[in-house]
């Protein structure tokens, strides 16, 4: 490892675990969701899931809460990683594209009330569950936007700069690249953009390769499931692949 920046990141953030007792609230919610038989029906706002879902005659998705929770929620290990990043990068303003049931969002919110999180969810009944969870647990630092990314993103980020942006929720490579290009105007000079599921499909991996080469990106880290790009001009243009 030749980059001091990356070495410190691995040593002090990526591999430094926090006490799991801190995360009892979101993990209890995860357990409830995984056993919730409630049926949901909604229009899929993204590229869908690799897991087959039942569709109505109108093309809407019909599924159960437990099925979404078991197939789509972020692994606890990655959730804890997001919690650690809030402190490590000194995050104060965060954007999450793809709230789902709000588990990852709540991990970031637990890192401190000073962290303001904007999160966007396109599936209305899913957003309802997330919003109720945030309200019940007193997460006053989370602001949930409802709607398709194409319709709501510009309004949500208008006039704002973010220290960390997490792109999830749409696995269409062309869309992902388009959102990324728009969001580069809304990242701070030392901020980081994280793209989830970069190997979900060929189009997503092609998008990731283009993102790494963006003129404003100075350093990239490929964690195999997700990719991270940095914009700090003090960093050397380098690419790293690290198994996590």
> Is pLDDT above 90 for 59?
no
Report yes or no: 188 and 95 within 8 Å, Cβ to Cβ: no
The tokens for 207 are 């998008």
Amino acid 170: pLDDT: 84
Over residues 27-41, the pLDDT tens digits come to 999 999 999 999 999
Report if pTM > 0.75: yes
What is the distance between the alpha carbons of residues 241 and 95, in angstroms, rounded to a whole number? 24
Report yes or no: 71 and 49 within 8 Å, Cβ to Cβ: yes
- All structural domains of the chain with their residue ranges: 4-24+71-241
Q: What CATH number was assigned to the domain covering residues 4-24+71-241?
A: 3.40.50.150
What's the pLDDT band for 52 if we cut at 50, 70, 90? very low
Average confidence (pLDDT) over 122-147: 97
> Is pLDDT above 60 for 58?
no
142 has which bridge partners?
Answer: 117
Over residues 232-242, the pLDDT tens digits come to 999 999 999 99
Average confidence (pLDDT) over 193-206: 97
What's the pLDDT band for 55 if we cut at 50, 70, 90? low
Residue 165, SS3 per DSSP: strand
Q: What percent of the chain has pLDDT over 90?
A: 86
């Amino acid at each position: 490892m030749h980059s001091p920046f990356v070495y410190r990141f691995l040593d002090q953030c990526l591999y430094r675990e926090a006490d799991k007792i801190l995360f009892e609230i979101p993990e209890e919610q995860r357990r409830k969701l995984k056993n919730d038989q409630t049926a949901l029906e909604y229009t899929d706002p993204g590229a869908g899931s690799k897991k087959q879902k039942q569709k109505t005659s109108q093309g809407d998705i019909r599924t159960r809460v437990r099925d979404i929770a078991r197939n789509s929620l972020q692994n606890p290990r990655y959730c804890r990683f997001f919690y650690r990043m809030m402190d490590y990068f000194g995050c104060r303003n965060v954007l999450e594209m793809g709230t789902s049931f709000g588990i990852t969002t709540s991990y970031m919110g637990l890192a401190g009330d000073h962290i303001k999180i904007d999160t966007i969810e396109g599936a209305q009944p899913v957003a309802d569950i997330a919003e109720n969870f945030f309200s019940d647990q007193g997460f006053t630092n989370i602001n949930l936007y409802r709607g398709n990314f194409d319709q709501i993103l510009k309004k949500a980020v208008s006039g704002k700069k973010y220290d960390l942006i997490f792109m999830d929720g749409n696995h269409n490579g062309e869309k992902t690249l388009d959102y990324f290009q728009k969001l580069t105007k809304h990242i701070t000079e030392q901020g980081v953009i994280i793209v989830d599921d970069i190997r979900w499909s060929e189009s997503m991996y092609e998008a990731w390769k283009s993102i790494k080469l963006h003129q404003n990106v100075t350093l990239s880290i490929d964690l195999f499931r997700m990719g991270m790009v940095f914009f700090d001009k003090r960093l050397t243009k380098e690419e790293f692949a690290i198994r996590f």
